[in-house]
Amino acid sequence: MRPPPTLNIFPSQPMHAVPPSNSKVSMEIPSTQTSGSKRPPEPSLAKPNPHTEAPSAPEPPKAVKREGNRKGTTSSSEQEAPKTPDPKTLRRLAQNREAARKSRLRKKAYVQQLESSRIKLNQLEQELQRARSQGILMGGNALLGGEQGIPMSMNGISSEAAMFDVEYARWLEEHHRLVCELRAAVQEHLHENELRLYVDNCLAHYDHVMNLKSIVAKTDVFHIVFGMWKTPAERCFMWIGGFKPSELIKIILSQIEPLTEQQILGICGLQQSTQEAEEALSQGLEALNQSLSETITSDSLWCSPNMTNYMGQMALAMNKLSTLESFVRQADNLRHQTIHRLHQLLTTRQAARCLLAISEYFHRLRALSSLWFTRPRQE
């Protein structure tokens, strides 16, 4: 009998080279292996029937996760539902946008102001160099320029005075901007509460320049007294380092709207008290000049060769001269009180017109000086 065929696990030839008689057996064996290897994954690939089979183990977490996502989306949609803010929030957002816009404009204006101040400072330096080359010096030292024995620091203005001139030029530019805003507010007929903000800004700006003057008066009082920081036309009306407040009241009276009887009485009383204070300061300054002249022309300085006596008399003259700062400070206080007292007597709109009239007066004086410098000269 022929022995039964055995399975050739390790064939010596490839499968396709097996004789046809054994191909059936060899093909049946791999098919069984293939069918056997594909049978185990079938349960995992088959979709469970929801009616007959229970959900597999990983399904509950997915269901919970979907529920959680559903809840999360629902809560976010519920939170986003009242998307329209209330009027207070809208108003606050609009105010923030407006404040940011104004901040950007102020920053841009400040940069332009710095640039213009730099240009003006360069022009001032060139004018000083030109004046020195021509022998014409600013200040009370012009007559002493180039004289032997005079220190070089006296041949020009001090560093504090030069810094004050730069700050004053910057103050003028800012003042022009504030006055333009005030004029526009008056022409637009804004409410008095809104107009009061522009008036207060202008008043605070006047206080700022007086603070600058008080600082430089401590180091170079003559620069303030002789008005070297003013234009030539403005210097014609100088009074102890500034303008006469009583004359300013006369100028603005014709520019203010019709006044009530109480306002007229208050302004007349203010003008009278201001004139009395001006006369007192003028008399005190005249007495100081007389006393200083007597100290300088004392016989002991001319006849006595004693150096100690000479230095004692000069020290006395310097002590008297130091009181000049006090006169400048009192005059500035009088100007400050006059402007603020007018603001109290007038309405907000009248005070705005008052400030506009003051600004226009000084603007015309500066324009007059410019025209005087550019006039045609004859040889």
Which structural domain, as residue segments, surrounds residue 182? Answer: 157-373
245 domain-assigned: yes
Per-10-residue mean pLDDT of the chain, 379 residues long, equals 63 54 45 44 45 46 45 47 74 88 86 80 70 45 34 58 90 94 92 91 94 90 89 92 91 84 93 95 94 80 62 84 92 94 93 93 92 82
Amino acid 14: pLDDT: 58
* Contact between 284 and 316 (Cβ < 8 Å): no
69 domain-assigned: no
20 domain-assigned: no
Amino acid 23: pLDDT: 44
How many Cα atoms sit within 13 Å of 120 on the Cβ side? Answer: 17
294 domain-assigned: yes
- Look at the alpha carbons of 185, 252, 371, 117 in this order and tell me if their dihedral is positive or negative: negative
Q: In 3D, which of 324, 304, 300 has the Cα closest to residue 313?
A: 300
How many Cα atoms sit within 13 Å of 250 on the Cβ side? Answer: 7
* Contact between 210 and 354 (Cβ < 8 Å): no
Q: In the chain, how many domains are there? A: 1
Which token pair is 150? Answer: 């005079």
169 domain-assigned: yes
Environment class of 74 (CB within 10 Å of its CB; exposed 0-12, middle 13-18, buried 19+): exposed
301 domain-assigned: yes
Q: What single-letter amino acid sits at 264?
A: I
End-to-end CA, the chain: 154
Alpha-carbon separation of residue 340 from 19, 294, 334 (angstroms): 125, 39, 10
254 domain-assigned: yes
228 domain-assigned: yes
